């Protein structure tokens, strides 16, 4: 028996004895068959196309690379204009590729079939009407206008009326009539590549620009629209009409109702990136499970008490939406919730958010979550999960609502309940940065309706653009008070939110106790002076509507006052001694004010 090596050596000798002429003939025949297969595929099965214009947005974007199927529609000789139509005909609302009848030597067009042979077409009231029935179109952008179309337009036999989905930016049958069946060469099957580069790269003859576009995509993958790759185009079997107020809409998708799961998945990927950066050792698993898991460190906590809270940002969201700045309110939400559990002595463990939008916008979602993530990281709190809901019909596009849920922990013996507050305790105030997250309904009415200002308007009395002033962050007081709480130097804390000082300080005072506050003991920020002036608001209303420059109040026993003040100074935290605790008479106000605000 011959070994494998012997067989190989014999084959090499045999090949070496083959004449050169025979080798050349074999190579030519092989390449002939390769070329024939290529011509067959290119001429009768499929071709590649690239979208050079925005006439089909949002279905097809500039820079989308398509695989086109010619099967059953057309066959021809590649690189020539010779072709013959085959047996298949396009259906209504199907996207097709065709040679423009008015200029057959120009690049192929991509449009959507609207009218079939024999149809009567009218365009009015911003809609297309086929044979007296309104066409139900979910894919269009821009208003549908007739332009040069003389109505009613009768589609010729063996002809098709086509339009682009971007109705205000499409050169289609409204200008040059219908497409003969002989000029239709195929239908798109799939997007195999999509590049977000300059449109000039896809214009005919721009080989240099196109080369650099592909090279740049290799060097900068961010210019590839990855989520569009492998999208397919499956023609609907029937079209959707609106007749006598009722709709017949076959093959409905969730996206037709305004909920786009693909876009939601993209938003979740962005959430996962930012949330994972906040994870602490107690977090078990990651984002995406049905429930979020957190393991409490039993070595650290001897008798732990869990403290929870839920809150929102109020109509400060309207300011964020009008300015297109969303990360600030995301951070505000976390800081507000942390402050709420801080008043009971708790340190945060984990946070969950609830975000509801009229239309899913991954960029807005990312800004909000980035703000939440940033605040969570600063506080050592894990952004462990949440809910992001697209709710068309409940919220208009561009608007959203935001809520947060937090869980913290405190040792039972260090729990702040207010029971330890005694007459003689001092009241120290930590300043706010502005409105924080309360009083915005009144502030917006005064600024945007009464004064008719724009967010970008500079207000000299405030020393800032009014939109930027309103978006100043809600401060988190946990870092400033960490040492004070650990040492047990306070008997109570009050977070000054909705309801102001009169509405929040009594919540931590036991019965028979009142707070006496000197209104002249702290500086009032300029924004509150401006709002008081514009609205002619009296002192009582100001104190109930706004924090007036006080974000957190510390109730400190006399023996710890100097220690607390020294610790705050060491941390370079501003504070003001604004009053003291006294005994209260039955039935009297729990908070008594003296002096006048520095307005």
Predicted pLDDT at 495: 97
CA dist 307 and 490 (Å) reads 18
Asked whether the bond before 222 is cis by omega within 30 degrees of 0, the reply is: no
In CATH, which of 3.30.1280.10, 3.90.1150.10, 3.40.30.10, 3.90.650.10 is domain 426-594? 3.90.650.10
**Cis geometry, peptide bond prior to residue 152 (ω within 30 degrees of 0):** yes
Dihedral, CA atoms, 585, 589, 592, 596, nearest 10 degrees? -150
**pLDDT, position 239:** 45
pLDDT of residue 595: 93
How remote is the C-alpha of 597 from its chain's centroid?
42
**What gap in Å lies between CA 502 and CA 579, rounded to an integer?**
14
User: How many beta carbons lie within 10 A of that of residue 576, not counting itself?
Assistant: 17
Q: Say what the pTM is.
A: 0.60
Surface-to-core class of residue 587, CB atoms within 10 Å of its CB (0-12 exposed, 13-18 middle, 19+ buried): exposed
Give strand ranges (E) for 453-512.
Answer: 458-459, 464-465, 492-495
Burial of 109 (0-12, 13-18, 19+ CB in 10 A): buried
Are 514 and 588 contacting, i.e. CB atoms less than 8 angstroms apart?
Answer: yes
pLDDT of residue 522: 95
Coil, helix or strand at residue 402: strand
Which phi and psi angles does 465 have, rounded to 5°?
-65, 140
Domain layout of the chain by residue ranges: 4-43, 47-248, 261-414, 426-594
Structure tokens at 311: 């809150």
Domain formed by 47-248, architecture: Ribbon (2.10)
E strand or H helix at 535, and its extent? Answer: helix 526-535
For residue 186, what is the enclosing H or E element? strand 184-194
Contact, 194 vs 228, CB < 8 A? yes
- Cα–chain-centroid distance for residue 19? 69
Cβ-based neighbours of 357, under 8 Å, separated by 6 or more: 364, 365, 388, 389, 390, 391, 395, 399, 400
Structure tokens at 570: 């060491």
Q: And the tokens for 378?
A: 């600063």
- Residue 246 has a pLDDT of 39
The pLDDT score that the predictor gives to residue 384 is 92
C-alpha distance from residue 585 to each of 103, 283, 511 (Å): 94, 49, 10
- Cα–Cα nearest to 366, from 264, 475, 285, 284: 264
410-440: string of b/e by CB count within 10 Å (b at 16+)? beeeeebebeebeeebbbbbbbbebbbbbbb
Integer distance in angstroms from the first to the last C-alpha of the chain?
109
Cβ pair 276, 287 in contact under 8 A: yes
Q: List C-alpha distances in Å: 399 to 278, 436, 438.
A: 27, 20, 19
pLDDT at 485: 95
Q: How far apart are CA 468 and CA 22, in angstroms?
A: 82
Tens place of pLDDT per residue across the chain (599 aa): 555 565 566 655 565 666 766 667 666 666 555 554 444 444 445 677 888 888 898 889 888 988 888 787 777 666 556 667 777 888 999 999 998 888 877 888 999 999 999 999 999 888 899 998 889 888 888 778 888 788 889 999 989 999 999 988 888 999 899 999 988 988 888 888 888 877 778 777 778 888 888 887 787 777 788 888 888 875 443 444 544 433 434 455 555 555 566 666 666 677 777 888 888 899 987 777 788 899 999 899 999 999 999 999 999 999 999 999 998 999 999 999 999 999 999 999 999 999 999 888 888 888 899 999 999 999 999 999 888 888 888 888 889 999 999 999 999 999 999 999 999 999 999 999 999 999 999 999 999 999 999 999 999 999 999 999 999 999 999 999 999 999 999 999 999 999 999 999 999 999 899 999 999 999 999 999 999 999 999 999 999 999 999 999 999 999 999 999 999 999 999 999 999 999 988 777 889 999 999 88
Domain 261-414 is found in CATH 3.30.1330.10: yes
């Amino acid at each position: 028996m011959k070994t494998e090596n012997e067989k190989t050596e014999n084959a090499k000798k045999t090949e070496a004895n083959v004449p050169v002429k025979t080798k050349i003939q074999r190579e030519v025949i092989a390449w002939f068959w390769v070329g024939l297969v290529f011509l067959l595929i290119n001429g009768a099965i499929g071709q590649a196309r690239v979208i050079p214009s925005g006439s089909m947005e949002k279905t097809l974007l500039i820079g989308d690379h398509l695989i086109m199927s010619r099967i059953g529609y057309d066959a021809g000789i590649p690189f020539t204009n010779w072709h013959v139509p085959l047996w298949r005909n396009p259906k209504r609302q199907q996207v097709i590729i065709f040679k423009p009848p008015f200029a057959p030597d120009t690049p192929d067009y991509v449009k959507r079939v609207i009218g079939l042979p024999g149809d009567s077409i009218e365009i009015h009231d911003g809609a297309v009407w086929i044979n007296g029935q309104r066409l139900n179109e979910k894919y269009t952008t821009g208003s549908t206008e007739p332009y040069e179309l003389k109505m009613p337009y009768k589609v010729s036999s063996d002809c098709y009326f086509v339009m682009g989905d971007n109705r205000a930016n499409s050169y289609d049958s409204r200008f040059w009539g219908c497409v003969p069946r002989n000029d239709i060469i195929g239908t798109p099957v799939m997007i195999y590549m999509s590049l977000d580069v300059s449109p000039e790269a896809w214009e005919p003859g721009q080989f240099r620009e196109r080369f650099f576009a592909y090279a740049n995509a290799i060097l900068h993958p961010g210019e590839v629209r990855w989520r569009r790759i492998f999208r397919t185009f499956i023609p609907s079997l029937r079209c959707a009409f609106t007749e006598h107020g009722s709709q017949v809409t076959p093959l409905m998708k969730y996206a037709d109702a305004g909920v786009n799961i693909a876009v939601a998945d993209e938003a979740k990927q962005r959430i996962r990136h930012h949330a994972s950066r906040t994870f602490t050792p107690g977090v078990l698993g990651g984002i995406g499970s049905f429930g979020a898991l957190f393991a409490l460190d039993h070595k650290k906590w001897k008798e732990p008490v869990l403290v929870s809270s839920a809150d929102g940002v109020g109509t400060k969201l309207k300011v964020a939406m009008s300015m297109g700045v969303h990360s600030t309110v995301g951070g505000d939400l976390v800081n507000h919730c942390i402050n709420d559990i801080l008043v009971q002595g708790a340190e945060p463990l984990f946070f969950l958010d609830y975000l509801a939008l009229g239309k899913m916008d991954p960029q807005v979602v990312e800004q909000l979550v980035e703000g939440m993530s940033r605040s969570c990281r600063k506080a050592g709190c894990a952004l462990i999960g949440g809910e992001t809901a697209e709710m068309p019909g409940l919220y208009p596009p561009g608007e959203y609502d935001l809520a947060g849920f937090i869980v913290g922990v405190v040792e039972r013996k260090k729990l702040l309940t207010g029971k330890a507050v005694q007459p003689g305790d001092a009241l120290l105030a930590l300043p706010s940065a502005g409105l924080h997250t309360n009083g915005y309904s009144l502030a917006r009415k005064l600024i945007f309706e009464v004064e008719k200002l724009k967010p970008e308007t500079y207000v000299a009395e405030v020393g800032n653009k009014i939109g930027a002033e309103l978006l100043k962050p809600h401060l988190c007081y946990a870092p400033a008070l960490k040492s004070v709480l650990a040492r047990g130097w306070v008997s109570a804390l009050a977070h000054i939110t909705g309801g102001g000082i009169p509405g929040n300080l009594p919540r931590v005072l036991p019965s028979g106790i009142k707070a006496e506050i000197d209104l002249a003991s702290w500086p009032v920020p300029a924004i509150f002076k401006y709002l008081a002036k514009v609205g002619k608001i009296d002192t009582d209303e100001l104190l109930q509507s706004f924090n007036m420059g006080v974000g957190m109040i510390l109730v400190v026993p006399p023996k710890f006052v100097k220690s607390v003040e020294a610790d705050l100074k060491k941390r370079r935290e501003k504070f003001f001694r604004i009053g003291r605790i006294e005994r209260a008479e039955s039935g009297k106000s729990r908070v008594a004010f003296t002096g006048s605000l520095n307005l």
